[in-house]
Amino acid sequence: MPIQYYIALSATLFCIGIVGVLTRRNAIVIFMCIELMLNAVNLLLVAFSKMQPVAAATNTAARNAANVGIDGQIFVFFIMVVAAAEVSVGLAIIVMMYRNTHSVDVNFLNRLKN
Amino acid sequence: MQLINALLQANTTAVATATGTAADYFPIGIQLLFAIGFVAVMIGGSHLLGPKRRTADKLENFTSGIESHGTARQPMAIKYFLVAILFVLFDVEVIFFYPYAVNFRDLGWQGFGEVLLFVSFFLIGFIYIIKKGALIWED
Amino acid sequence: MNAIILSVIIGVVMMFCSVFVPNKNSYRHIASIGLVLLLAGNIAEMHGFSLFHINTKGMLSYDNFGLFFNTIAIASTLIYVLLSGRDIQKIGTYVAEYFVLIFFVLCGIAILSSYNNLLMLFLGIEILSIPLYILTGSDKRNMMSNEAALKYLLMGSFSTGLMLMGIALIYGATGSFNIEVIHAASPQQGANGMSELSVSFLEIMGMLLLMVSIGFKVSAAPFHFWTPDVYDGAPAVITSFMATIVKVAGFIAFIKLFDARMLGTSVETNKLIGVDWKLLFAIIIICTLLVGNVTAVFQQSVKRMLAYSSIAQAGFMLFALFSMNDVAKEGILVYSVAYSLATIGIFAILVKMKDFTFEGYNGLGKTQPVLAFTNTIFLLSLAGIPLTAGFFAKFFMLESAIKTGTYLWLVIAAVVFAAISVYYYFRVIQAMYFKAGDAAVVEAPTMSFKIGLLLLAAIIIYFGIFPQALLSWFYF
């Protein structure tokens, strides 16, 4: 399958995520949209890492063909782990917020305007 | 330059055949269609053929024979949440064992040592949350 | 490598101190000792003595610039903990954890000052940001702190998403995460079965997304809108840390990323399509200076004014990216020292105040002469008045821009904005000395606190008279 399909799919997912972040009002939904953005990136990284002929050619031919572009897949692991850390901190903050205001609506966040 | 070009060409074709084309996904498509069709036929069939008797008892949610009361939207103890967060953290870290498992033999004792280091960092975090009392259930 | 590993080890040790050492007053002393150790470890590495030998496969690279910046960051943190340690203790009940998180942030900074691979850039930024989300929300019962934490978290993870997309696109275009490979690679026909044009388009998009996301982190306009709210809502001690050490670390990451990119001609000639990065940065600088300085004029609260002033100062630090020559690199080091020390001092005094508005400072010159005097010196340094370190910081930045020989209007605009900034810094000085009132402090400052402030002011004046003293360490 040509790479363009993957790029189009992940760009679409990414844009859905961005639009969600910018338009939704529920903190948890915003957080899910951010996760959607990260997963779009994961998809793109895996697709690129699987179709990576350039790196193989410019680096030495001695590089094992099976390992070409494996760094992209490792990057995906790091994104997943960091996203999990971010989610746990984020959910904790949202719960803290909920305990104080009994709402997860970001429209409530207006105490800090002038 | 010639050589590089030749290499480029060679590698492009090699990888292109390895990654495959849309035609290679044909069996997956068939399987997908079959799975969806099977589920649709089964649900549709039982819906059409099965007898329908709507009584109050039958429409009630089934909760292991215990009478259900209230809705699910009630505040829960914060402890569940704490455990859930800690679970997410420790669960996802396991992902780093996958690359190690794949290259287990090649990495040898050095790789084993590094994985032990990783696990020990894990354990330090675990000991910390135990010492902090995050997992104590009773107040 | 010393700084990265030692900061984590000391952080973990402090984590267990919170379990095994019951005395809350001792934590800040332990943290100070840890920071001294960390500083010693980093200076040892500058002299070629490395405790750990780990093959990072070129993911991290150590040069004088990064190591020297580490020294600046750790030393500023040490000064910060010594001055404001008591106030960190007062945020809440989990005292040791606040220090632990500060150590983890330092680990992120150490990675950012030495990364050579986009994976490390990503990890460094996240290790830096996640503890900061927690620190921002550390005042758990305070609604403002909660709100600031949630805003910071949402904006921060959003910008992380943009950064990751940028990294993925660059990876697709060049096939590598290594910065040198990325900048050297020219688009090749047939990469991934795409045309040359679309490959270079991917790469440019990637670099732009990276620029936007790091612009978020250093609060460059037009990506600054979270800054005032977060800096205002976070506990004042934490704001001090965020606005100084963390912000400057963002600039170091920025410079390392665009170092090779900005060296060549302004438009990338070897690419089919290119971005005029110099023009782009010039626009960002103008926006940042405009937003920061003009909005700061209208603020009623000193804390919020300082948040906007930190945006304005970021505009000046962006000059280092704009010109990217040797003067700029020396300049950003001088700037980071001058800006960090002065802002740490101002916040250390701000935390002691009962009322954060300008009126709250009325008559501080009479009630607390030492605080008012040192505060004046810190503010003068931020405004860039001669004989303070801030003057040479701004001077180096503008000189580097003049040396590039283009966009002279930018330098003139920067001077005009620096003049505007004098107005709102002097408002504080005016309130302290020329307005009647009895500025109330939360508690009488101790003798050691006053001596610390005086020493800090002395350091700022010393670097203002002999700026070469700092740079001679850099070249040692």
∠ Cα B53 B55 B61 (to 5°): 110
> Please, which residues 291-320 of chain C have a Cβ atom closer than 8 Å to chain A?
299-300, 304
Can you read off the two tokens belonging to residue C323? 């010109």
How far from each other are the two terminal CA atoms of chain B, in whole angstroms?
73
Per-residue pLDDT of chain C (476 residues; tens, 9 = 90+): 889 999 999 999 999 998 888 888 899 999 999 999 999 999 999 888 888 888 888 889 888 889 999 999 999 999 999 999 999 998 888 899 999 999 999 999 999 999 999 999 999 999 999 999 999 999 988 888 998 999 999 999 999 999 999 999 989 888 888 888 777 765 554 445 566 777 778 888 898 999 999 999 999 988 998 999 999 999 999 999 999 999 999 999 999 888 867 654 434 545 556 677 888 899 999 999 999 999 999 999 999 999 999 999 999 999 998 888 888 888 999 999 999 999 999 999 999 888 888 888 888 888 889 999 999 999 999 999 988 999 999 999 999 999 888 888 999 999 999 999 999 999 999 999 998 888 778 888 889 999 999 999 999 999 999 888 888 877 76
What residues of chain A lie within 8 A of the CB of B92, using their CB? 80-81, 84
d(CA B28, CA C245) in angstroms, rounded, equals 53
| Residue found under tokens 């009895």 | C438
CB contact under 8 A, A57 and B98: no
Q: Taking CB atoms and an 8 Å cutoff, what residues of chain B touch A69? A: none
Chains in contact with C, counting 3 or more C-beta pairs less than 8 Å apart as contact: A, B
**What pLDDT is attached to residue C7?**
94
pLDDT tens, position by position, B9-65: 434 444 444 455 777 888 899 999 999 999 999 999 998 988 877 777 777 776 677
The distance of A98 to chain C (nearest Cα, Å) reads 10
Which chain A residue's Cα is nearest to B14? A53
**Preferred mutation among B90, B95, B98, B122 to probe A, highest tally of A CBs within 10 A:** B95
Choose which CATH entry (1.20.58.1610, 3.40.50.300, 3.40.50.20, 2.60.40.1120) describes domain B2-131.
1.20.58.1610
Chain A contact present for C357, CB below 8 A: no
Beta bridge partners of A105: A26
Contacts of C396 (CB under 8 A, 6+ apart): C327, C328, C330, C331, C334, C335, C467
Q: How far apart are CA C325 and CA C400, in angstroms?
A: 7
Nearest chain B residue (CA) to A89: B85
Structure token pair of residue C27: 């934590």
* Cα–Cα distance measured from residue C384 to residue B5, given in angstroms and rounded to the nearest whole number: 57
CA distance C273 to C285: 24
**pLDDT of the residue at C189:** 45
> In this complex, which of C147, C168, C174 lies closest to A44 when CB atoms are compared?
C168
What is the nearest CA distance from C366 to chain A, expressed in angstroms?
Answer: 30
- For residue C125, the tally of other CB atoms under 10 A from its CB is 25
Contact C274, C373 (CB under 8 A): no
Inter-chain residue contact B124 with C12, CB threshold 8 Å = yes
Q: What is the DSSP letter of C348?
A: H
Instruction: Place B106 in a pLDDT band, splitting at 50, 70 and 90.
Output: confident
From the candidates B12, B19, B130, which should be mutated to test the interface with C, based on the most C CB atoms within 10 A? B12
**Tokens 């492009």, residue located:** B12
How far is the alpha carbon of C417 from chain B, nearest alpha carbon, in Å? 47
Question: For residue A106, what are the contacts with CB-CB under 8 A and spacing of at least 6?
Answer: A25, A26, A27, A30, C150, C154
Residue type (1 letter), C438: D
Query: Is C28 within 8 Å of C89 (Cβ atoms)?
Result: yes
**Which residues of chain C make contact with A17, given a CB cutoff of 8 A?**
161
Q: Distance between alpha carbon A91 and the CA centroid of its chain, in Å?
A: 17
CA distance C230 to C147: 8
| Residue C365: alpha-carbon gap to chain centroid | 30
pLDDT band (50, 70, 90) for residue A106: confident
| B15 contacts on C by Cβ (under 8 Å) | none
Q: How many Å apart are CA C141 and CA C137, to the nearest integer?
A: 9
- Pick the closest to residue C148 from C325, C307, C314, C321 (CA basis): C307
Closest CA relative to residue A42, chosen from A104, A100, A84, A91: A84
Q: Chain B within 8 Å of C56 (Cβ-Cβ)?
A: no
Contact with chain B for residue C22, Cβ under 8 A: no
Distances in Å between the Cα of B57 and the Cα atoms of B53, B62, C335 are 10, 9, 76
SS3 of residue C460 by DSSP = helix
pLDDT at residue A55 is higher than 70? no
Cβ–Cβ below 8 Å for A91 and B96: no
What is the model's pLDDT at position B59? Answer: 72
pLDDT at A113: 59
Work out the minimum CA distance from C16 to partner chain B, whole angstroms.
7
Whole-angstrom distance, CA of residue C112 vs CA of residue B12:
35
- Kindly state the tokens that stand for C354: 């009962």
Closest residue to C133, CB basis, from A2, A72, A89: A89
On whether the CB atoms of residues C174 and C203 are closer than 8 A, the answer is: yes
Q: How far apart are CA C61 and CA A59, in angstroms?
A: 20
Domain ranges within chain C, ordered by starting residue: 277-476
- Report the distance separating Cα C341 and Cα C106, nearest Å: 17
Q: Is C270 helix (H, G, I), strand (E, B) or coil?
A: coil
CA–CA separation, C458 and A107 (whole Å) = 46
Mutation site for B-interface testing, chosen from C8, C9, C12 by largest number of B Cβ within 10 Å: C12
- The residues, ordered by sequence, that sit 6+ positions from A51 with a Cβ below 8 Å of its Cβ are A3, A69, B15, B19, C192, C193
C283: tokens are: 């626009």
CB-based contacts of C86, cutoff 8 Å, min separation 6: C28
Q: Which residues contact residue C121 at a Cβ distance below 8 angstroms, ignoring those fewer than 6 apart?
A: C112, C115, C163, C167, C253, C257
Q: Choose among A52, A57, A81: nearest Cβ to B95.
A: A81
Inter-chain residue contact A7 with C172, CB threshold 8 Å = yes
CB of C251 within 8 A of CB of C336?
yes
Nearest CA in chain B to A56: B11
* Structure-token pair, residue A73: 């897949």
Query: Is C140 part of the contact surface with chain A (CB cutoff 8 Å)?
Result: yes
CB < 8 Å to A88, chain B: 85-86, 88-89
Residue among B23, B22, B6 nearest B14 (CA): B6
Q: Are C115 and C253 in contact (CB under 8 A)?
A: yes
Residues of C in contact with A40 (CB under 8 A): 165
Residues of A in contact with B91 (CB under 8 A): 84
Cβ contact (<8 Å) for C188 and B8?
yes
- ipTM of this predicted structure: 0.90
Closest CA to C118 of C65, C175, C159: C175
C interface mutation test: which of A38, A43, A86 has the most C CBs within 10 A? Answer: A86
Q: Assess whether pLDDT exceeds 50 at residue A80.
A: yes
**Closest CB from B8, B12, B132 relative to C19:** B132
Q: How far apart are CA C222 and CA C283, in angstroms?
A: 10
* pLDDT at B103 (0 to 100): 84
Q: Does C287 touch chain A (CB under 8 A)?
A: no
C256 burial type by CB count under 10 A (0-12 exposed, 13-18 middle, 19+ buried): buried
Assign residue C405 a region (left: φ > 0; alpha: ψ between -120 and 50; beta: otherwise): left
Cα–Cα nearest to C387, from C376, C397, C398, C400: C376
Q: Do C16 and B12 touch (CB under 8 A)?
A: no
Residue with tokens 């691979």: C117
Phi and psi, residue C115, nearest 5°: -75, 150
Paired residues of C178 in beta bridges: C117
Q: How many Cα neighbours within 13 Å face the side chain of C121?
A: 25
Tally Cβ neighbours within 10 Å of residue C22.
8
Write the CB contacts of C306 (distance below 8 Å, at least 6 apart in sequence).
Answer: C231, C239, C243, C343, C346, C347, C350
Q: Which of C133, C143, C304 sits opposite A111 (nearest CB)?
A: C143
Nearest CA in chain B to A98: B75
- C-alpha to C-alpha distance for C213 and C160, rounded to whole angstroms: 7
Cβ C153–A93 below 8 Å, yes or no?
A: yes
Cα(B19)–Cα(A56) distance, integer angstroms: 15
Using DSSP's 3-state secondary structure scheme, residue C357 falls into strand
Residues 200-259 of C with CB under 8 A from A: 228-229, 232-233
What stretch of H or E contains C49? none
Give me the pLDDT at residue A53, please.
58
Contacts of residue A55 in chain C, CB cutoff 8 Å?
A: 175-176
Chain C residue with the nearest C-alpha to that of B131: C19
SS3 at position C59: coil
- The domain spans of chain B are 2-131
**Domains along chain A with CATH numbers:** 3-105 (1.10.287.3510)
Q: Partners of A55 in the beta sheet?
A: none
Q: Which residues of B touch C15 (CB under 8 A)?
A: 128
Distance CA A52, CA C170 (A): 12
Residue B118, min C-alpha distance to chain C (Å): 14
A2: preceding bond cis by omega (within 30 degrees): no
